[in-house]
Structure 1
Amino acid sequence: MLRRLTVTAVASLAVLSAAAPAATAASPLVPLPPLLPVLQGDWLDGKEAQTRLTVTVSESGNPAADGTFELKCGPAGGSHPAAQRACDLLDEAAASGENPFVPTDRNAMCTLQAGGPAAARVQGTWQGEEIDARFSRSNGCEISRWNNLVPVLPSAR
């Protein structure tokens, strides 16, 4: 999304730069400068790809896994107990074009099995997008969604 905004701003600036000399030919005003070199290239790629997440887990069945953890990727770090593996999983999801934080479709047919009281919330930025996702193990779809995000979320018992 940031890339689209930047491209739109650059395109607008280009149009204004082209129109400025004609509009200011009769006036003493200085025309707008040509496109700024800093807006060219892929300098945004590193910023868009940064991941900074807060993962809060409760009642996972593993007291060491419950709590609030910071996960930073590019490079992997933070207080998350499996930061590198979690970042690798999120990088794989991004490379395949999948968003692991999308909620389950309300019309999905899910098995009526209970996976325990575990709950989690993931907030922050992933691939330049704001994330605020909640996870549970309340039915088959939610259990699968949780398991697909291990090790970002802990294995629940």
Structure 2
Amino acid sequence: MLRRLVLTTATAALVSAAAPAAGALALPAVGLPPLPLLSSTPDRLTVTVSKSADPAANGTFELECRAGGASGNHPAAEDACDRLGKLAGAGRDPFAPVASDRMCTQQYGGPVVARIKGTWRGRSVDARFSRADGCEIDRWRNLEPVLPSVRR
């Protein structure tokens, strides 16, 4: 009984010390998902594609994604920003490399390569993409239409 009284008193003291000022909103700290990075600066990416069999896919394209829409000379700017937004909403990092311990099929998707540099969700991006094996092909397809669709 004494133990319960001590624990109850200690807990009440901790809660009252941590209580917010009058009029402040108190939210429980446990069980809340992390908040997305809120930033007024747009995402800016430079997408460089080379060695594609489709000459229109090769080149350097600017992509800017912001709350009001997309801009830049990227051929599918709106769709590309929508795709990046969906990946962010799912909590996925679209620029993460293939894990070194992942088993990949040994299939070749062609010589096309791409590099994406810039800023996305407030962090610096410098990612390289190829279609050298099954994992890299999957990674490429995951970012279509940020990266061009490649058909062999």
Q: Structure 1 length normalisation: TM-score?
A: 0.69
In structure 2, distance between residues paired with 1:127 and 1:47:
10
Match of residue 53 from structure 2: 61
Letter aligned with residue 38 of structure 2: D
Structure 1, unaligned stretches of length 5 or more?
A: 1-43
Among 68, 72, 75, the residue aligned to 1:78: 72
In structure 2, distance between residues paired with 1:85 and 1:98:
17
Q: C-alpha displacement at 1:46, in angstroms?
A: 3.1
**In proportion to residue count, which structure has more helix?**
1
In structure 2, distance between residues paired with 1:140 and 1:77:
32
Match of residue 137 from structure 1: 131
Match of residue 18 from structure 1: none
Q: C-alpha displacement at 1:67, in angstroms?
A: 0.3
Structure 1 runs (4+) greater than 6 angstroms displaced: none
Equivalence map 1:4-153=2 (5 Å): 45-47=38-40, 50-74=42-66, 75-153=69-147
SS at match of 1:54: strand
CA contact (8 A) 2:39 2:122 kept: no
Give the share of equivalent positions with the same residue, in percent: 58
In structure 2, distance between residues paired with 1:101 and 1:153:
12
Structure 2, unaligned stretches of length 5 or more?
A: 1-36
In structure 2, distance between residues paired with 1:93 and 1:132:
17
CA contact (8 A) 1:47 1:128 kept: no
Q: C-alpha displacement at 1:57, in angstroms?
A: 0.2
Letter aligned with residue 44 of structure 2: R
Aligned pair count reads 113
In structure 2, distance between residues paired with 1:128 and 1:46:
7
Q: Structure 2 length normalisation: TM-score?
A: 0.72
